[in-house]
Chains A and B, each alone.
Chain A
Amino acid sequence: MSDRALELFEQYLEQRASGQHPDAAALVHEAGDQADVLAGMIAAYAATHPADVTEDQLEQMVARPELEPPRPWPELLPALRERTHTTRATLVSRLCEVLGVPGSELQVAAYVHELEAGLISPARVRPAVVSALAAVLGVPRSLLESSRGLAAEPRPASGLNFARSARHSDDGLMSLGALEPDADPRVDDLFTGGDDG
């Protein structure tokens, strides 16, 4: 067995014994070509010696969106916006940027509204949109991906509902109303073209 892997494993044990929380991943990377060996040792040890957890650590973990019970997109997207203090206008603007469709804010805003209102199925959006939403909202793509198939409660849809449901100021977005440019077919495809797979 590699001396380096053993040395790092002992370091891991010492840190745990002294009440520290060593980063197992950092140690494994430090092992270089012995990473598999060290990973095996740490995994075997950790499986039989679960870590002590503090209440603070648990509170931080529970705040992670990955631990939320699954929710359909019409519930999930507004909740993620609220969590990150992202207005719908900001989300739309960032989506246009990430998707490479600058100037299509109104068209994208309409689709975001339809997604949040449950008027179109998340299954219809292209994977690029899922990735862009995940990037802007700061969550793993798989969080959105795994909820795409969940059915949402149908909600009434109208422009009034759109305005009323905005939780943060959407003034910037609403002021664009009179300036709608021609629809970009790329945007339609992104939001209704379906899953590539």
Chain B
Amino acid sequence: MPLHPARFDDLALRDDLALVHVAQSSLGEHDAGRETAKRCVGLVVLRNRDLVRSVIAAKVPPGAIDDVEADVWLRFSRKVYSGDEITNPVGLLLRMAVFCRADFHANRPAAEPTLGEWDDASDDPALDDIVVTAAVADLLAPLADRQRDVVWQRIIEGRSSAEVAAMMNTTAGNIDVIVHRALATMREAQP
């Protein structure tokens, strides 16, 4: 564990996942610990900035890219600071970029109050299939965060209701209800 605030050279040696763990363990250590946490998150975000900006730019006009990108930073940092387990920071950033640009088109504030429903335990979204991901994101745009995560896990990732329920700390029956309502919302949103 580095002294706080951790030096750039020490942090730069660590991979993204290790930086997330350092950030989460540093938060409680007063101001210097918070500074370390911010540096860790900043490093992860900067390393993967091209990924985020290219995904956003595919669907968002030039004048709005910086704002959508800032929403991704905000969501990512909040997820890290929440202490939730993160197993795949790059995959999480990718999903957040896709969802934030969908929120932009749905004209919806990107960050909802709790920001606690992201799940990153899934495998990497197919990075070579970003066009399909974009189409899926458009379909999911009318949904709230929790609904989108459930639909993504249950339908896109093909997990069982029981698996998704375990990941989201709820019951399989509740997952089925969420999926049912989400599909109804998506049908209503279709032109």
Contacts and interface: CB of A to CB of B under 8 A. Distances in A.
Given A42-B54, A43-B94, A146-B78, A53 B43 contact: yes
Nearest to A55: B8
Most chain B CB atoms below 10 A, which of A35, A45, A46, A141: A46
Interface in B52-84: 53-58, 62, 65, 67, 70-71, 73-75, 77-78, 81
A36 B134 contact: yes
Interface in A111-165: 127, 140-143, 145-146, 148-149
A30 B83 CA distance: 39
Interface in A2-55: 22-29, 35-40, 42-48, 50-51, 53, 55
Interface residues of A, number: 44
Contact of A47 (B48, B56, B73, B134): B48
Interface string B88-114: 001000100000000000000111111
Interface stretch (A65-73, A79-87, A102-110, A171-179): A65-73
B38 A67 contact: yes
Contact of A66 (B48, B56, B65, B77): B77
Contacts of B73: 64, 66-67
B49 interface: yes
A166 interface: no
Contacts of A44: 127-128, 130
Main secondary structure of the interface of B (DSSP, over half): helix
A48 B42 CA distance: 18
B156 interface: no
In the complex, which range does the number of interface residues on chain B fall in? 35 or more
A70 B81 contact: yes
A62 interface: yes
A46 B42 contact: no
21 contacts: A28-B54, A28-B57, A37-B131, A38-B58, A40-B58, A40-B131, A42-B51, A43-B94, A47-B48, A47-B127, A50-B48, A51-B48, A58-B8, A58-B39, A66-B77, A67-B45, A70-B81, A142-B109, A143-B74, A145-B112, A146-B112
Interface of A: 22-29, 35-40, 42-48, 50-51, 53, 55, 57-58, 61-62, 64, 66-70, 127, 140-143, 145-146, 148-149
Interface of B: 8, 12, 16, 27, 34-35, 37-39, 41-43, 45-51, 53-58, 62, 65, 67, 70-71, 73-75, 77-78, 81, 90, 94, 109-115, 124, 127-131, 134
